[in-house]
Chain A
Amino acid sequence: MAATQKEIVDGLAEIVNEIAGIPVEDVQLDKSFTDDLDVDSLSMVEVVVAAEERFDVKIPDDDVKNLKTVGDATEYILKHQS
């Protein structure tokens, strides 16, 4: 069953918390991974791989650069999850 928007944001919040130590409540749709959440380009790769596993979705490297905010990632996952 596909995840809802809320489930995806909550899941991303747990992933970002694990990788960057940011409190889950700070991970919101309008937050930028690099500017607000202390996720640098290397850690972003970790976030993507963890999100792929959790939401059963493939995020090609070429698409990763378009995922600037938590909202971008959530929308991408909503659209592409199987």
Chain B
Amino acid sequence: MSSTNRTVVITGIGATTPLGGDAATTWEALVAGRSGVGLLQQEWAAELPVRIAAQAAVDPAEILPRPQARKLDRTAQLALIAAAEAWQDAGYSGRAGEEAEIAPERLGAVIASGIGGVTTLLDQYDVLKEKGVRRVSPHTVPMLMPNSPAANVGLQVNAQAGVHTPVSACASGAEAIGYAVEMIRTGRADVVLAGGTEASIHPLPIVAFGNMMAMSKSNDDPEGASRPYDADRNGFVMGEGAGVVVLESEAHAKARGAKIYAEAVGQGVSADSHHITQPEPSGKGIAHALQNLVDNNDLKPAEIAHVNAHATSTPLGDVAEIKALRQVFGDDVDHMAVSATKSMTGHLLGGAGGVETVATVLALKNRLAPPTINITNLDPEADADVVRDSPRPLPEGPIVALNDSFGFGGHNVVLAFRTVQ
């Protein structure tokens, strides 16, 4: 089966997000323009400057068997749930080489997290301080290591072609999917579970992001706080959740008669090398990634009908992305329906690329671009066809959709997906 430049397709999707415990309910809420942001009711949040977040709609610890859940950080719990949904959706059940008819050596897993098991790290430090050495969980290290979600997903399905965890802050989830596409293209694997997960709703990360002036402090209006492209946007809202897809070589998918959602066309990657956290304001670095995407994958700008933008609701970032789209695609941007789904999900950090890939693939499948909510006054610098308030039908025929993800550190990852006949 090994060959190079093989076509890669998506045959399964899974998500657990602030909008719903699976991909279908998440999509339903996205199309309905519902916000997943709310006021944090936890006692620890009462005195914080930021008291809003988009918490997972379904607690993963309530779904997984208790003995399993107690040995997993919430990032891995969310990833396992999204991965199980995607695996089943792709027509597989059980482990490779056992119930699932695929050789373990041809199956991979690439699951990213931006921060890793940070709540485990912080909680166990509290245990150490308050209860002493003996009470620190022996599971702490395998729970907090950032590759834990990938390793646990790999264990669950018996993936032996390679299990990986790219880390690039908020671009991590997209980087995971891009890496998985390359694994299949180059013949290292036939099927790869790929995506991102994050669970960092805890006082320290919230205070730390807040002190960077990166987060919205609109505590009096949680549902209106995440407002990409609005003239008065004032920062992102932290979200948690996971999104995972099953990527597969087209030949493998067709041979087993799998349903195919979309083609995973490829990725464009670049690094700003401008500032450790601020985006390069002209959009030059993002433009470089977009250009790589087009050049390396023979994309025609005329095909691109939809962009699931990175747009986190920060003043600089949202506009830099639009400038980059204009630099690379010029007037072709006018026929791209641009959606900022973070207006509803909040910003899932390392989980964003996974969840937004699921949203992008469903947008292609349903030929419908989700809305961007909370735009009262569109920023005049957002010079693009932003889908506002209600979903927008996408054109018939073969079309391409992009999913943009950028991360602290200057990481830029752009993924492209195409409808299939």
* Chain A contact surface mostly: helix
Say whether A45 contacts B67, CB under 8 Å.
no
Bound Cα distance from A61 to B142, whole angstroms: 20
Say whether A21 contacts B66, CB under 8 Å.
yes
Q: Please tell me if B137 contacts chain A, counting CB pairs below 8 Å.
A: yes
Minimum CB–CB distance from B127 to chain A (whole Å) comes to: 11
Select which of B67, B134, B135, B139 is within 8 A of A20 by beta carbon: B67
Select which of A38, A42, A43, A49 is within 8 A of B134 by beta carbon: A49
Say whether A45 contacts B138, CB under 8 Å.
yes
B66: chain A residues at CB < 8 Å are 21
Say whether A42 contacts B67, CB under 8 Å.
no
Q: Please tell me if B65 contacts chain A, counting CB pairs below 8 Å.
A: yes
Bound Cα distance from A46 to B139, whole angstroms: 9
Say whether B67 contacts A46, CB under 8 Å.
no
B134: chain A residues at CB < 8 Å are 49, 52
B142: chain A residues at CB < 8 Å are 42
Q: Which residues 47-67 of B sit at the A interface, judged by CB distance below 8 A? A: 65-67
B65: chain A residues at CB < 8 Å are 21
A3: chain B residues at CB < 8 Å are none
Minimum CB–CB distance from B136 to chain A (whole Å) comes to: 9
Minimum CB–CB distance from B124 to chain A (whole Å) comes to: 13
The residue of chain B having its C-beta at the shortest distance from the C-beta of A22 within the complex is B67
A21: chain B residues at CB < 8 Å are 65-68
The number of residues on chain B lying at the interface, defined by a beta carbon within 8 Å of a beta carbon of chain A, is: 12
Bound Cα distance from A19 to B99, whole angstroms: 27
Minimum CB–CB distance from A9 to chain B (whole Å) comes to: 20
Q: Which residues 117-146 of B sit at the A interface, judged by CB distance below 8 A? A: 134-135, 137-139, 142
Say whether B135 contacts A42, CB under 8 Å.
no
B135: chain A residues at CB < 8 Å are 49
A46: chain B residues at CB < 8 Å are 137-139
Bound Cα distance from A70 to B71, whole angstroms: 22
B71: chain A residues at CB < 8 Å are 42-43
A20: chain B residues at CB < 8 Å are 67
Select which of A38, A42, A52 is within 8 A of B138 by beta carbon: A42
The residue of chain B having its C-beta at the shortest distance from the C-beta of A39 within the complex is B67
A49: chain B residues at CB < 8 Å are 134-135
| B 62-93 binary contact with A (CB < 8 Å = 1; else 0) | 00011110110000000000000000000000
Minimum CB–CB distance from A14 to chain B (whole Å) comes to: 13
The residue of chain A having its C-beta at the shortest distance from the C-beta of B135 within the complex is A49
Minimum CB–CB distance from A10 to chain B (whole Å) comes to: 19
Q: Which residues 46-82 of A sit at the B interface, judged by CB distance below 8 A? A: 46, 49, 52
Bound Cα distance from A21 to B65, whole angstroms: 8
The residue of chain B having its C-beta at the shortest distance from the C-beta of A17 within the complex is B67
Minimum CB–CB distance from A65 to chain B (whole Å) comes to: 14
The residue of chain B having its C-beta at the shortest distance from the C-beta of A50 within the complex is B135
Bound Cα distance from A51 to B71, whole angstroms: 19
Bound Cα distance from A43 to B356, whole angstroms: 36
Minimum CB–CB distance from B314 to chain A (whole Å) comes to: 41
Apart from A21-B66, A46-B138, A49-B135: 7 A-B pairs, beta carbons within 8 A: A38-B67, A42-B71, A42-B139, A42-B142, A43-B139, A46-B137, A49-B134
Residues of B at under 8 Å CB distance from A?
65-68, 70-71, 134-135, 137-139, 142
A-B contact pairs, 6 of them (CB 8 A): A21-B67, A43-B71, A43-B138, A43-B139, A49-B135, A52-B134
